Structure 1
Amino acid sequence: MNILPEVSVIVPVYNAEKYICQCIESILSQTYRNIELLLVNDGSTDTSAVLCETYARKDSRVKVYHQINKGVGSARNYGIHRAVGRWVTFVDADDWVNKDLIENYISCVDIGVDMVISLCYANDNHDFCKSNYLNKEDAIRSLITFNEFPASMCLSMYLREKMQYVSLDESIHYWEDFYFQFTYLLHVDKISVNKIPSYNYRQHSESATHSDLNPKMLTCLSIPECMKVQLENHGYNSKSIVPIISEVTVFFIGQCFKNFLLSNHYNERDVLILVNYLRKHKRCLFHPTKSVGVKMKTILLLNLFTSNLNSLLSWIYKKADK
Structure 2
Amino acid sequence: MNKISIIIPIYNVEQYLPQCLDSIINQTYKNLEIILINDGSTDNSGKICDNYAKVDNRIHVFHKKNEGVSSARNLGLEKCTGDFIGFVDPDDFIELNMYELLYNEQQKTNADIVWCNYYNYFSNEHYNIVNIFNENKLYKLPFAINKLGIDLFINKYYEHSHLWSKLYKKSIFDNIKFPYKKTLEDLSIFLPTLMKANIICVIPQALYYYRNNRINSLINLSNKQTINIEAIETYIIFSLDYAYYFPNYPYKNILLFNSYKNAFDICMKKNCYTLYQKILIYQLKKLLLTTLPLNIKYRILKRYILFLLRTLLRRFL
- After TM superposition, the score normalised by the length of structure 2 is 0.75
Hey, what's the Cα distance between the residues in 2 that align with 1:277 and 1:49? 38
Per the alignment, residue 176 of structure 1 pairs with 185
C-alpha displacement of 1:276? 7.4
Task: Please state if 1:244 is matched with 2:252.
Answer: yes
Does the 8 Å CA contact 1:162/1:188 hold for their aligned counterparts? yes
Hey, what's the Cα distance between the residues in 2 that align with 1:277 and 1:252? 12
Greater alpha carbon shift after TM alignment, 177-186 vs 132-141: 132-141
Does the 8 Å CA contact 1:118/1:150 hold for their aligned counterparts? no
C-alpha displacement of 1:253? 5.9
Given the superposition, is the C-alpha separation of residues 54 and 106 from structure 1 closer, same or farther in structure 2, using an over 3 Å criterion? Answer: same
Does the 8 Å CA contact 1:132/1:192 hold for their aligned counterparts? yes
Task: Please state if 1:89 is matched with 2:77.
Answer: no
Hey, what's the Cα distance between the residues in 2 that align with 1:317 and 1:205? 38
Query: In structure 1, what residue type is equivalent to 2:173?
Result: M
What SS does the corresponding residue of 1:195 show, helix, strand or coil? strand
Does the 8 Å CA contact 2:74/2:177 hold for their aligned counterparts? yes
Task: Please state if 1:69 is matched with 2:74.
Answer: no
Of the three residues 209, 217, 221, the one matched with 2:232 is 221
Per the alignment, residue 198 of structure 2 pairs with 189
Given the superposition, is the C-alpha separation of residues 128 and 253 from structure 1 closer, same or farther in structure 2, using an over 3 Å criterion? Answer: farther
Given the superposition, is the C-alpha separation of residues 219 and 190 from structure 1 closer, same or farther in structure 2, using an over 3 Å criterion? Answer: same
Greater alpha carbon shift after TM alignment, 86-95 vs 148-157: 148-157
Hey, what's the Cα distance between the residues in 1 that align with 2:312 and 2:205? 46
Hey, what's the Cα distance between the residues in 2 that align with 1:75 and 1:259? 31
Partner deviation per Cα, 1:157-212 (whole Å, 9 max, x = no partner): 110022113121225x2321012121101111100112211110111222233222
Given the superposition, is the C-alpha separation of residues 23 and 256 from structure 1 closer, same or farther in structure 2, using an over 3 Å criterion? Answer: farther
Given the superposition, is the C-alpha separation of residues 50 and 178 from structure 1 closer, same or farther in structure 2, using an over 3 Å criterion? Answer: same
What SS does the corresponding residue of 1:188 show, helix, strand or coil? coil
Hey, what's the Cα distance between the residues in 1 that align with 2:251 and 2:190? 18
Does the 8 Å CA contact 1:115/1:190 hold for their aligned counterparts? yes
C-alpha displacement of 1:229? 5.5
C-alpha displacement of 1:226? 6.2
Does the 8 Å CA contact 1:26/1:99 hold for their aligned counterparts? yes
Of the three residues 113, 116, 121, the one matched with 2:114 is 116
Per the alignment, residue 127 of structure 1 pairs with 131
More strand by share: 2
Given the superposition, is the C-alpha separation of residues 99 and 65 from structure 1 closer, same or farther in structure 2, using an over 3 Å criterion? Answer: same
Hey, what's the Cα distance between the residues in 2 that align with 1:168 and 1:27? 23
What SS does the corresponding residue of 2:9 show, helix, strand or coil? strand
Per the alignment, residue 274 of structure 2 pairs with 269
Unmatched tracts of structure 2, length 5 or more: 121-126, 297-306
The sequence identity of aligned pairs, in percent, is 22
Does the 8 Å CA contact 2:114/2:200 hold for their aligned counterparts? yes
Per the alignment, residue 303 of structure 2 pairs with none
What SS does the corresponding residue of 1:108 show, helix, strand or coil? helix
Given the superposition, is the C-alpha separation of residues 278 and 38 from structure 1 closer, same or farther in structure 2, using an over 3 Å criterion? Answer: closer
Partner deviation per Cα, 1:249-269 (whole Å, 9 max, x = no partner): 6258648967996x8xx9663
Does the 8 Å CA contact 1:118/1:155 hold for their aligned counterparts? yes
Of the three residues 157, 167, 172, the one matched with 1:162 is 172
Hey, what's the Cα distance between the residues in 1 that align with 2:82 and 2:267? 38
C-alpha displacement of 1:270? 2.7
